[in-house]
Amino acid sequence: MAKKILVCDDAMFTRTLISDILVKAGYQVVAEAANGVQAIEKYQQDKPDLVIMDLIMPDMGGIEAIKKIRKLDPNALIIVCSAMGQQALVMEALDAGASDFVVKPFQPAQILNTLKKLLE
Best CATH choice for the domain 4-119 from the list 3.40.50.2300, 3.30.43.10, 3.20.20.140, 3.10.620.30: 3.40.50.2300
What's the mean per-residue pLDDT of the chain? 96
Predicted local distance difference test score (pLDDT) of residue 101: 96
Mean predicted confidence (pLDDT) in 65-72: 98
The predicted-structure confidence for 21-52, as pLDDT tens digits, reads as follows 999 999 999 999 999 999 999 999 999 999 99
52, with CB counted inside 10 A (0-12, 13-18, 19+), is buried
Q: Distance between CA atoms of 101 and 114, rounded to whole angstroms?
A: 8
Instruction: Identify the band that residue 103 occupies on the pLDDT scale cut at 50, 70 and 90.
Output: very high
